[in-house]
Chains A and B, each alone.
Chain A
Amino acid sequence: MAAQAAILEGPIARPARSLGCGRGDALVKDMTTATMTSVSMPADWRDFLALTKPRVMTLVVFTGLCGLLAAPGHINPVLAFTTILCIALGAGAAGALNQWVEADSDRLMKRTANRPLPAGRMERQSALHFGVGLSFFSVLTLALATNWVAGAILAVSILFYVLVYTIWLKPRTAQNIVIGGAAGAFPPVIGWAAVTGDVSALPIALFCLIFFWTPPHFWALALYVRPDYANAGIPMLPVVAGDTVTRRQIWGYTAIMAIAAFAPVLLRQTGALYGTVALIATGVFAFYAFAVFRSRESDPAHMRAERRLFRYSILYLFIMFGAVVVDRWVMA
Chain B
Amino acid sequence: MNDHVPQGAPLTQAEQDAIRARQRSRSIVTGLILGAMVILFFGIAIAKMMSKG
B-binding residues in A (CB < 8 A): 1, 4, 7-8, 11, 13, 19-20, 25, 27-28, 30-31, 35, 37-42, 44-45, 76, 78-79, 82, 85, 141, 144-145
Question: Could you list 19 examples of A-B contacts with CB < 8 Å?
Answer: A4-B5, A7-B20, A11-B4, A13-B3, A28-B14, A28-B18, A31-B12, A31-B15, A35-B14, A39-B15, A39-B19, A41-B19, A42-B22, A42-B23, A78-B44, A78-B46, A79-B47, A82-B43, A145-B47
For window 12-51 of B, CB contacts with A under 8 Å fall at 12, 14-15, 17-23, 25-26, 29-30, 40, 43-44, 46-48, 50-51
Known contacts A7-B23, A38-B4, A44-B26; A31 and B50 CB within 8 A of each other: no
The complex places the Cα of A41 from the Cα of B18 at a distance, in Å, of 8
Is B18 touching A20 in the complex (CB atoms < 8 A)? yes
In this complex, the interface size class of chain B, counting residues with CB under 8 Å from chain A, is: 20 to 34
A-binding residues in B (CB < 8 A): 1-5, 7-8, 11-12, 14-15, 17-23, 25-26, 29-30, 40, 43-44, 46-48, 50-51
| Most-contacted residue by chain A among B2, B12, B19, B20 (CB, 10 A) | B19
Known contacts A27-B17, A76-B51; A35 and B12 CB within 8 A of each other: yes
The complex places the Cα of A4 from the Cα of B2 at a distance, in Å, of 18
The binding surface of chain B is classed by DSSP as helix
Known contacts A45-B29, A82-B44; A1 and B7 CB within 8 A of each other: yes
Contacting residues, chain A, for B1 (C-beta < 8 A):
13
Contacting residues, chain B, for A38 (C-beta < 8 A):
3-5
Contacting residues, chain B, for A141 (C-beta < 8 A):
44
A79 to chain B, nearest CB (A): 5
Contact of A25 among B7, B21, B43 (CB under 8 A): B21
Contacting residues, chain A, for B43 (C-beta < 8 A):
78, 82
Name the 5 nearest CB pairs between A and B, nearest first: A76-B47, A78-B47, A45-B29, A78-B43, A13-B1
B38 to chain A, nearest CB (A): 13
The complex places the Cα of A13 from the Cα of B5 at a distance, in Å, of 9
Beyond the given pairs A25-B18, A38-B3, 14 more chain A to chain B contacts, judged by CB atoms under 8 angstroms and listed by A's residue number, are A7-B19, A8-B19, A13-B4, A19-B18, A20-B22, A28-B18, A39-B5, A40-B5, A41-B22, A42-B23, A45-B29, A76-B51, A79-B47, A144-B44
Is A44 touching B25 in the complex (CB atoms < 8 A)? yes
Is B44 touching A145 in the complex (CB atoms < 8 A)? yes
Known contacts A13-B3, A39-B15; A44 and B22 CB within 8 A of each other: yes
Contacting residues, chain B, for A42 (C-beta < 8 A):
19, 22-23, 26
B5 to chain A, nearest CB (A): 6
Known contacts A13-B1, A42-B23, A45-B26; A82 and B14 CB within 8 A of each other: no
Contact of A30 among B5, B14, B44 (CB under 8 A): B14
The complex places the Cα of A25 from the Cα of B23 at a distance, in Å, of 13
Is B18 touching A82 in the complex (CB atoms < 8 A)? no
The complex places the Cα of A79 from the Cα of B29 at a distance, in Å, of 24
Is B11 touching A4 in the complex (CB atoms < 8 A)? yes
Contacting residues, chain B, for A7 (C-beta < 8 A):
19-20, 23
B26 to chain A, nearest CB (A): 5
The complex places the Cα of A8 from the Cα of B22 at a distance, in Å, of 11
Is A82 touching B40 in the complex (CB atoms < 8 A)? yes
Contacting residues, chain B, for A31 (C-beta < 8 A):
12, 14-15, 18
